[in-house]
Homo-oligomer: A and B are copies of this chain.
Amino acid sequence: MLTEDELALLEAIRETGSLSRAAARLGRAPSTISHAARQLEARFDALLFDRRRYRLQLTPAGHLLAQEAARLMHDVARLTRRVKQVAGGWEDRLRIVTDEILEFDTLLPVIRAFDKLESGVSLRITHEVLGGTWEALREGRADLVIGATNEPPAISQLRWAELGRMEWVFAVSPRHPLGKATGPLSQQVVSAHRSVVVADSSRGTGRGYGVVAGQATLAVPTMRAKILAQCDGLGVGWLPRHRVSTLLKNGALVEKAMADPREPNVLFAAWRGDHDGRALSWWLEQIRQPRLARRLIDGLPLPG
């Protein structure tokens, strides 16, 4: 393998173009450097230095070694940092999976605050649709899940905390055929119109919120897209009340009373008890603050 001394040797020889100067730079005797250089060649079983001329030079092989060794050295330095970091109780990385109904924007201030800690932990934030968050936790793809819906399933070592409730509203564009309908709408009436659903293309399986069997659907990638689609009159469906509050106020959407109202969803944060670290603890501490939890669930109302 390569010692940092050997690397420094190559580096010094390459830059100074001479063994004596390299020796001076490294604070060693010239004979030591000469000895070490020969030893290095013996180790790699290759001519690394061209000694034919007065001042020796690196051969192409020597150049390659010096150059790549510098890269390796860099890798080792980074590895050292990571090891110290993990030894200090910080995870190497923290994988956070949010449900898509949470808006990434609301996480930004927390991420910024986390960055200020300069922990070195690399964050990886992705999102999933519907049950995907629980799956991610079960399959070990996530260290922390934020905004998971429905009841926590049976996962060994599961820990969780309630974030709060998300209320839903059935709303349509005023230009939509249902826009002028009066009185509570039955499922039968609704099912005659296309519904807009959020689906995750990457996993292939078609999931959707509150879809009636046989109903035509328009699958869109995000809740934001669903809201915009419904504003456009492209379909109908349930929307998070708080995120469409402005749109309801200015008439871009109209709320419809339903024969079967939708119960509010309880949102959870969840993690596994067998992995702990300072980054996870910090995030849990933040998320347990009611103000932040409220903001995460409410999201940002779309401006009209």
Please give the count of copies of this chain that the complex contains: 2
Query: Is the CB of A224 closer than 8 A to any CB of chain B?
Result: no
- Given that A1-B1, A44-B84, A47-B87 are known contacts, is A69 also in contact with B79, CB under 8 Å in the complex? yes
Query: Is the CB of A216 closer than 8 A to any CB of chain B?
Result: no
A92 CB contacts on chain B under 8 angstroms: 64
A46, B1: Cβ atoms closer than 8 Å: no
Residues of A near any B CB (own CB < 8 A): 1-4, 7, 44-48, 59-61, 64-65, 68-69, 72-73, 75-76, 79-80, 82-84, 86-88, 92
Expressed in whole angstroms, the Cα–Cα distance for A216 and B257 within the complex equals 63
Expressed in whole angstroms, the Cα–Cα distance for A84 and B84 within the complex equals 34
Which of B3, B4, B75, B79 touches A65 (beta carbons < 8 Å)? B79
A84, B46: Cβ atoms closer than 8 Å: yes
Nearest to A59 among chain B residues (CB) is B87
A83 CB contacts on chain B under 8 angstroms: 44, 46, 48, 61, 64-65
B72, A76: Cβ atoms closer than 8 Å: yes
Expressed in whole angstroms, the Cα–Cα distance for A87 and B60 within the complex equals 7
Expressed in whole angstroms, the Cα–Cα distance for A4 and B87 within the complex equals 22
Expressed in whole angstroms, the Cα–Cα distance for A90 and B64 within the complex equals 12
The 7 A-B pairs with the shortest beta carbon distances in the complex, nearest first, are A46-B87, A61-B87, A61-B86, A1-B4, A65-B83, A68-B79, A61-B83
A76 CB contacts on chain B under 8 angstroms: 1-2, 72
Expressed in whole angstroms, the Cα–Cα distance for A83 and B58 within the complex equals 12
A68, B82: Cβ atoms closer than 8 Å: yes
Which of B44, B75, B79, B88 touches A87 (beta carbons < 8 Å)? B44
A84 CB contacts on chain B under 8 angstroms: 44-46, 61
Instruction: Tell me the minimal C-beta distance from A2 to chain B in angstroms.
Output: 6
Instruction: Tell me the minimal C-beta distance from A58 to chain B in angstroms.
Output: 11
Nearest to A73 among chain B residues (CB) is B1
Expressed in whole angstroms, the Cα–Cα distance for A48 and B87 within the complex equals 7
20 residue pairs from A and B, CB less than 8 Å apart = A1-B1, A1-B2, A1-B3, A1-B4, A2-B76, A45-B84, A45-B87, A46-B84, A46-B86, A46-B88, A59-B86, A61-B83, A61-B86, A64-B82, A64-B86, A65-B79, A65-B83, A72-B72, A72-B79, A75-B75
A61 CB contacts on chain B under 8 angstroms: 83-84, 86-87
A87 CB contacts on chain B under 8 angstroms: 44-48, 59, 61
Instruction: List 7 additional contacts besides A61-B83, A64-B83, A72-B75; criterion CB under 8 Å.
Output: A44-B84, A46-B88, A59-B86, A61-B84, A61-B87, A69-B79, A75-B75
